[in-house]
Amino acid sequence: MIETITIDGSLTWREIAAVADGARFALSERTRQRIIDGRRIVDALVERGIRGYGINTGVGALCDVVISRENQEALSRNIILSHACGVGEPLGRAEARAVMAAQIANFAHGYSGVRIETVEALLALLNADIIPHIPSRGSVGYLTHAAAIGLVLIGHGTAAHGAEKLTGAEAIARIGLEPLRLEAKEGLSLVNGTPCATGQAALALARTERLFGWADVAAALTYENLGSQPEPFAEAPLALRQSPGLQAVGKTLRRWLAESPMLAETAGSRTQDPLSLRAVPQVHGAARDSFSQAAEIVDWELASVTDNPAVSGSPENPQVHSQAHAVGAGLGLAMDSLAVAAAEVAAISERRIDRLVNPLVSGLPAFLADDSGVSSGFMIAQYTAAALVAENRRLAAPASLDGGITSALQEDILTHATPAAWKVLSILDNLERIVAIELLAAAQAYDKQPKTRGRAPRTDALYGRIRGAISTYADDRPMNEDFDRMRDLMRGVAP
């Protein structure tokens, strides 16, 4: 049964991620009334001729150009058309659904002043899984991504319904509506705010949480294979350092490695292990702490009004506020931090892969191959992981510092929150591949261990799951096909 999430207050990133994954959205009666009340305030502003940015003025550097009442609908329509400047491949289904969900959540606060009919049209598209094509590139903040959604509402642009491609007019007809005639302020609200960044950030958090779990497990399998010492993960010594993430990782590693005959056999054989093994709680734990901080900021954003201008008061006393709430500096900084954290987890995973395949330190056959020389085994798999780590290093450069000047000096500081969130998703795609390689290498390493060495109960169960889907590698097939099979096994489930 498909879950339905009803908006009756501030949403969390988990709820946005659930909608991205296919959950339905609904408005409570209280939320509907908030939206209706906000629209009545905009109507009062229009009726009284009170100046409001993007309501009865131009936008950007044209903010002091007053627009006559008869041209305000044309202004809303023109904003959508002129701001639809995105380029490149469209966002994936989940990414686009996340953006739409965050956009609806922003309107649900009731301070944007869009009509309830407009919000319900967005809801109908989302719940029918008719997804606008949103070009992934060309945004310094939010405008181009959101304009692609607005295009479909007015009967332009294109959308996807499963594998079917629809024109905007066909998409809006599919939900039983005519193309919308946008009224005052609606064009600006539809391209404004931080939902483009917030939606993608929520999805990034969901993927990060899952992949950090798999990274912990991959580290446990590698640790067991390499005969490492149990002391670094012991509860009392780890408690000497303050870090919720570190404690969580330590607990996970102890659980996965409990009752390991392999570790019992090698206990005391070394004074200490190399950092890529010994420092898993410290590195993975620090990344988890960064994740928690980013998650808190995304939830703040979802609880915030990020439209400009915002409206408040009442129809009798309408107020319009030209603030800078659409600037996503907090999100940009949070996503830059998450990008570095994910890249760091990927980097230490690659170092562990190298130790598994390197006969100088592993004590196992070179590159985990059947016949060294004739077979290359996991030699080039480690190359692939190293290349992805290098790519992550480039992607992890802070987007929030990119800056730039637009709109004739009117918008002379740019915080790039949407590109920051987008590149986290790219880094996570690389992290998923790297962790998949480590899991496969660890499974192959188990195959090369003496038969007398037993695995811990949990690692043994996961080894069985992997081998149930992917057989031991013997240079008998393209290895990247195994990477894809491992990613399929990892997707959508916790380890």
The answer to whether the beta carbons of residues 295 and 382 sit under 8 Å apart is no
Token pair, residue 139, equals 């945004």
What does the domain layout of the chain look like in residue ranges? 4-192, 201-300+327-490
Long-range contacts of 63-71 (CB under 8 A, 24+ apart): 63/410
Q: Give pLDDT, residue 443.
A: 98
Q: Name the DSSP class of 303.
A: T
CB count within 10 Å of CB 403 equals 11
Q: Give pLDDT, residue 494.
A: 76
Contacts of 206 (CB under 8 A, 6+ apart): 13, 14, 17, 20, 21
The answer to whether the beta carbons of residues 280 and 237 sit under 8 Å apart is no
| Lowest mean pLDDT, pick from 44-53, 92-101, 236-245, 356-365 | 44-53
d(CA 72, CA 186): 10
pLDDT digits 0-9 by tens, 152-203: 999 999 999 999 999 999 999 999 999 999 999 999 999 998 999 999 999 9
Question: Beta 24-27 vs 4-7: how paired, if at all?
Answer: parallel
**Bigger pLDDT: 451 vs 172:** 172
d(CA 129, CA 93): 9
**Bigger pLDDT: 308 vs 478:** 478
CB count within 10 Å of CB 476 equals 10
Cα radius of gyration rounded to whole Å, the chain? 26
d(CA 174, CA 22): 19
* Confidence check: pLDDT of 413 > 90: no
pLDDT digits 0-9 by tens, 72-101: 888 889 989 998 999 999 999 999 999 999
d(CA 108, CA 302): 10
Confidence class for position 407, pLDDT limits 50, 70, 90: low
* Confidence check: pLDDT of 412 > 70: no
pLDDT digits 0-9 by tens, 344-374: 999 999 999 999 999 999 999 999 998 767 8
* Confidence check: pLDDT of 61 > 70: no
d(CA 28, CA 427): 37
d(CA 75, CA 244): 51
The answer to whether the beta carbons of residues 453 and 235 sit under 8 Å apart is no
Query: What does each C-alpha distance from 433 to 44, 192, 340, 388, 420 come to in angstroms?
Result: 55, 35, 17, 8, 21
pLDDT digits 0-9 by tens, 7-32: 999 999 999 999 999 999 999 999 99
Domain 4-192 and domain 201-300+327-490 have a common topology = no
Q: Give pLDDT, residue 198.
A: 97
Arithmetic mean of pLDDT, 462-483 = 96
CATH superfamily of 201-300+327-490: Fumarase/aspartase (Central domain) (1.20.200.10)
Percent of the chain exceeding pLDDT 90 equals 78
| Beta bridge partner(s), residue 160 | 131, 165
DSSP-based three-state secondary structure for 36 = helix
Q: What CATH architecture does domain 4-192 belong to?
A: Orthogonal Bundle (1.10)
**Smallest Cα–Cα separation from 97: which of 32, 157, 22?**
22
CB count within 10 Å of CB 302 equals 25
| Lowest mean pLDDT, pick from 178-182, 335-339, 399-403 | 399-403
Query: What is the chain's length?
Result: 495
d(CA 246, CA 231): 15
* Confidence check: pLDDT of 411 > 80: no
Choose the most confident range, by mean pLDDT, from 45-59, 125-139, 204-218: 204-218
d(CA 58, CA 187): 11
